[in-house]
Each structure stands twice: as structure tokens, then as C-alpha cells.
């Protein structure tokens, strides 16, 4: 053990730990979820700290000897090393101060090693004076959240792109499979299975654009605002420079907010992202539930889709297979929507110059993004790729339906069409049979009118 102290007193820290006394206090104080800080957030923090060190060296405030050691330490974390040195619970008081100090201590102790000095020699490399130079938790932590969110949002967009592309492939494959469209869970008018798949793809693409727009706001950061946005202890040249360095480190363009005070005390950009995730989740739930309904059966349901068989469905009913992949996408989306409520409450609970609820906001946004990304990839890989249409079942339901009579309106009028529908419902006869028995249309003309193209494409003449 080694002894470290802060202004509250002295504690013993394990000799092999890169974290220090302030991390140890937070570890003891906050044992809430049983989880640790998101690894992506840790690496986003390292990127922010590297950018700050580079900017401070360029302004001449940080010596190259210490600055370069801090940069090397940050690079190691960005490469996936030292991640076990961040043991803190993601839900914590202090607006993220504990996470910031955890990173400052790890960077300082690793920098000390790189300089040939023992860990804990904060008189040489200080977590507060050097690793946190020209910074505050109140600009570092929200900036790191934004960097992390942007990376996770990019993964979600990639998953949504995969989903949309596969739906578009199914749309083309099923373009000639005519089936019954339904409204109010009742027979409506015909549609092709390809058109349904294309509609799902269109809605998913809209989700991509929605998340893209929310992601743009994440690239405006308050680095250099320090404690409350006034820039106390930050050199004027450092403020725009640190955003430039962050852009270089991350490969994404970050800019300094025009009003740093606003950007420090308001967190509405996080609500905007959460809202985009919620809206997208709702679209996915609708789609997954439609798949479950269309795959219902296989003998006593709609049975229009054949889902891949992924596992036995019952501990008591032999041969039963359930739509578990569609079910798990639903649940992933429910969880994302639940996260949205926590984000909403966190965003509204800022006071004056700071929102201290950023830890719970970040934790829930990360959870929503992870759930949606994993749920979508699972749906594509384990359901959609191997999905099959039951063309015979689609045709059988269509043949039994009276809804196709709607296509006859321009040709025989509403009254005769209604009479046809009534007779078909009453007798149980297929609508085509009733038409022929009444001698209303020649068979060839009837088949032309009731063809998939005529019934599903606007403006097609008989």
C-alpha cells in the first residue's frame, strides 16, 4: 500500500493501482448499480485529456516533459490499456467529478512511471495541477459524454443502415407476393409483401436521419469554459485550441460553443438525442410486432412469414417455436424508452450554472444506445437475413378476403361492389366466384383488375 492524501485526509491506496485517493473515496461512497463506468466513456475522457494536454503545451503553460508523458498515458488508454483502473459506479454524486479525478490520477501515475518516478509523487505530476490544467469536471465531463455518444451513435446508425438495407433486399425479393393489407386488425385492401418491407425500410431510414441530426449537436462543446463557463483559469488562446486538438485526436470535428455559460449549464442536447432514440425505438417496436403477427401460427395464425427457428419454444409443448428474436428487439426498445425517462428527469433537474445529474444522463443514454444497437444487429443476423415468405399462405388469405372488392369500384360502382361483398361474407364464397356467378365481368377482365399490379400501384388502368 502507499499513502495518499487530499484535503480531507490520508488514505492507503494499493501499490499496484494507478488510481489514487480521490478515486478510492468515490469507490467507497458510490455503490449503486453494481456496474463500472462505460469503457467507451473512459476512452472518450482520455481523448479529451490528451487534447487538453496538447493545447496546454502549445500555449506554453504545460512543460513538454510532463505534457508528453500525459499524452503517452492517454494514448495507452485509447489503445485499450489500463481500463481496469476505472472502478467507479456510473451513478454518482458530484456531477462527474469522481470520473474526472479517476482519469486525472491514472494519467498522472502512469506519466510518473513513464518519467521513471514512483506512483503517488504528485509533487512532480499532479492530477489537479497538470492532468486537469485549464479544466474543470464541468467542461471535461460533458465533453467526454458527447464524444462517447457520438461514437455510440455512429454504431447505432451503422446497425440501422444494415437493417434498412436488408429490408430493402426483402422488398425487392417479395415485390410480386400479393397479400391482404389490414387496418384495425381487419381485412383492408391488397398490398404486396415487398411494399410492406419497403415501408419498414423507409421508416428505419428516417430514424437514421433523426439520429444524425441529434448527433450534430454533440459536436459543440464547452471545453475552456472550466467551472461555470466563464473560462476561469483557462488562457484565451487555449479555449478555441482545445477543440481543434480534440478534433485531431478523435477524427471528428468539434467546435467551441458560442456561449460557454449556456453550454455548461444546459443539457438539452442530451434530451434531443434521447428523444431521437425513443422515436426510433417506437418504429422498431411496430415493425417487430408486425413480424410477430405475420409469423403467427404456423397452423392456426396468419403464417405469412416463416421466421428462422432459433430455439425450442416451450418446456412443455413439444415442437413449439417462438418468435424470440422479434421479442428481444421489442424488449431492447422498451429498455431504451425506459432510459429516456431517466434522461428527461436528469436534464430538467439542472440548477443555475450546472446540471449535476450528468452521470445519470450519460449512463442512461449509453444504455439506450447499446440496447438498440445490439437489439437491431441481433434482429438482422438471427431473423431478417434468413426470413422467408409463405407465398401460399399469403395467397390463401387474399383469396378468402372480400377486401379486394374495393378494386372493382371504378368498374362496377359502389352499390354493386357492396352487394358482392355482402354475398361473399354471407355465403363464404371467394369474391371471384361471386363475380363470375353474377356475370358482372369477363374472367380475363376481372383478373386484370384484380392483378397485383393493378391493385397495388396507383394510376394503373385496366
pLDDT single digits (tens) 182-222:
999 999 989 999 999 999 999 999 999 999 999 999 999 99
Percent above pLDDT 70 for the chain:
99
User: Three-class SS of residue 12?
Assistant: strand
Residue 282, pLDDT above cutoff 60: yes
- Residue 460's pLDDT band (boundaries 50, 70, 90)? low
pLDDT single digits (tens) 400-454:
888 788 888 888 999 998 998 899 889 988 888 899 999 989 999 988 888 767 8
Q: Which residue, 269, 246, 237, is CA-closest to 365?
A: 269
DSSP state of 111: H
Residue 458, pLDDT above cutoff 80: no
Cell of 254: 468539434
Q: What share of the chain is helix, strand, coil (3-state, %, to 5)?
A: 60, 5, 30
pTM for the model: 0.93
pLDDT single digits (tens) 31-84:
999 999 999 999 999 999 999 999 999 999 999 999 999 999 999 999 999 999
Peptide bond into 298 cis (omega under 30): yes
CA atoms within 13 A on the CB side of 65: 7
Cell of 364: 442512461
d(CA 348, CA 357): 9
CA of 189: how far to CAs of 393, 397, 445, 446, in Å?
Answer: 16, 12, 19, 16
d(CA 246, CA 250): 6
d(CA 38, CA 141): 13
Cell of 210: 433523426
d(CA 35, CA 22): 19
The pLDDT mean for the chain works out to 95
202 tagged catalytic = no
DSSP state of 3: E
pLDDT of residue 432: 86
CA of 400: how far to CAs of 180, 188, 391, 405, 417, in Å?
Answer: 10, 12, 14, 12, 16
Place of cell 421508416: 203
pLDDT of residue 450: 81
> Annotated catalytic residue: which of 314, 393, 401, 451?
314
- Residue 5's pLDDT band (boundaries 50, 70, 90)? confident
Residue 391, pLDDT above cutoff 80: yes
pLDDT of residue 136: 97
d(CA 301, CA 307): 13
Beta-strand runs (E) in 185-343 = 186-192, 220-221, 255-256, 305-306
Percent above pLDDT 90 for the chain:
85
Cell of 249: 485526436
Q: Which residue, 76, 196, 144, is CA-closest to 456?
A: 196
Instruction: Give every CB contact of residue 366 below 8 A, 6+ residues apart in sequence.
Output: 38, 40, 41, 90, 148, 149, 152
d(CA 355, CA 229): 12
pLDDT of residue 453: 75
Q: Which residue, 457, 336, 383, is CA-closest to 167?
A: 383
Spell out a b/e string for 436-461, using b for 16 or more CB atoms within 10 Å of the CB, else e.
eeeebbeeeebeebbbbeebbeeeee
With vertex at residue 242, the alpha carbon angle to CA 240 and CA 248, rounded to the nearest 5 degrees, is 110
Specify the range with the lowest mean pLDDT, choosing from 84-98, 223-237, 400-414: 400-414
Cell of 115: 518519467
CA of 215: how far to CAs of 254, 276, 325, in Å?
Answer: 12, 10, 28
Instruction: Give every CB contact of residue 54 below 8 A, 6+ residues apart in sequence.
Output: 67, 71, 245, 248, 249
pLDDT of residue 428: 86
Helix axes 409-427, 431-438, angle to 10 degrees: 110
pLDDT single digits (tens) 141-179:
999 999 999 999 999 999 999 999 999 999 999 999 999
Q: What is the number of residues in the chain? A: 462
pLDDT of residue 168: 98
User: Three-class SS of residue 275?
Assistant: helix
Query: Are 103 and 49 within 8 A, CB to CB?
Result: yes
Query: Are 403 and 190 within 8 A, CB to CB?
Result: yes
Query: Are 74 and 88 within 8 A, CB to CB?
Result: no
**Which residue segments constitute the domains of the chain, with CATH numbers given?**
2-133 (1.10.275.10), 139-220+260-392 (1.20.200.10), 402-456 (1.10.40.30)
Amino acid at each position: 500500500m502507499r499513502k495518499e492524501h487530499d484535503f480531507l485526509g490520508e488514505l492507503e491506496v494499493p501499490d499496484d493501482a494507478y488510481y489514487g485517493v480521490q478515486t478510492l473515496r468515490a469507490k467507497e461512497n458510490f455503490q449503486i448499480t453494481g456496474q463500472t463506468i462505460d469503457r467507451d466513456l473512459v476512452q472518450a475522457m482520455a481523448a479529451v485529456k490528451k487534447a487538453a494536454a496538447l493545447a496546454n503545451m502549445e500555449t506554453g503553460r504545460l512543460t513538454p516533459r510532463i505534457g508528453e508523458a500525459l499524452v503517452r498515458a492517454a494514448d495507452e488508454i485509447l489503445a485499450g490499456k489500463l481500463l481496469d483502473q476505472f472502478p467507479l459506479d456510473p451513478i454518482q454524486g458530484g456531477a462527474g467529478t469522481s470520473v474526472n479525478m479517476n482519469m486525472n490520477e491514472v494519467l498522472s501515475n502512469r506519466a510518473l512511471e513513464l518519467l521513471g518516478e514512483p506512483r503517488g509523487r504528485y509533487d512532480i505530476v499532479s492530477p489537479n495541477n497538470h492532468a486537469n490544467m485549464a479544466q474543470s469536471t464541468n467542461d471535461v465531463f460533458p465533453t467526454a459524454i458527447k464524444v462517447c455518444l457520438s461514437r455510440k451513435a455512429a454504431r447505432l446508425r451503422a446497425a440501422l443502415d444494415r437493417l434498412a438495407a436488408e429490408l430493402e433486399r426483402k422488398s425487392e425479393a417479395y415485390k410480386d407476393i400479393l397479400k391482404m393489407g389490414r387496418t384495425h386488425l381487419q381485412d383492408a385492401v391488397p398490398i404486396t409483401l415487398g411494399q410492406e418491407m419497403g415501408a419498414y425500410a423507409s421508416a428505419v431510414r428516417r430514424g437514421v436521419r433523426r439520429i444524425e441530426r441529434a448527433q450534430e449537436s454533440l459536436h459543440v462543446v464547452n471545453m475552456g469554459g472550466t467551472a461555470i463557463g466563464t473560462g476561469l483559469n483557462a488562457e484565451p488562446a487555449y479555449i478555441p485550441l482545445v477543440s481543434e486538438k480534440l478534433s485531431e485526436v478523435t477524427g471528428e470535428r468539434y467546435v467551441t460553443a458560442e456561449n460557454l455559460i449556456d453550454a455548461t449549464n444546459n443539457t438539452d442536447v442530451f434530451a434531443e438525442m434521447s428523444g431521437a432514440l425513443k422515436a426510433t425505438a417506437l418504429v422498431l417496436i411496430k415493425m417487430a410486432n408486425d413480424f410477430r403477427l405475420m409469423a403467427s401460427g404456423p397452423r392456426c395464425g396468419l403464417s405469412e412469414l416463416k421466421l428462422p427457428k432459433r430455439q425450442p419454444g416451450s418446456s412443455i409443448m413439444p415442437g413449439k417455436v417462438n418468435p424470440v428474436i422479434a421479442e428481444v428487439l421489442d424488449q431492447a426498445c422498451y429498455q431504451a424508452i425506459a432510459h429516456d425517462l431517466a434522461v428527461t428527469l436528469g436534464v430538467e433537474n439542472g440548477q443555475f450554472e450546472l446540471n449535476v445529474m450528468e452521470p445519470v444522463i450519460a449512463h442512461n443514454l449509453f444504455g439506450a444506445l447499446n440496447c438498440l444497437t445490439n437489439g437491431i444487429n441481433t434482429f438482422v443476423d438471427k431473423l431478417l437475413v434468413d426470413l422467408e415468405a409463405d407465398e401460399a399462405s399469403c395467397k390463401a388469405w387474399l383469396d378468402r378476403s372480400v377486401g379486394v372488392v374495393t378494386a372493382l369500384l371504378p368498374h362496377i360502382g359502389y352499390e354493386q361492389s357492396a352487394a358482392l361483398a355482402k354475398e361473399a361474407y354471407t355465403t363464404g364464397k371467394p369474391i371471384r366466384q361471386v363475380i363470375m356467378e353474377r356475370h358482372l365481368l369477363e374472367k380475363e377482365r376481372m383478373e386484370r383488375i384484380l392483378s397485383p399490379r393493378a391493385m397495388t400501384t396507383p394510376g394503373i388502368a385496366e
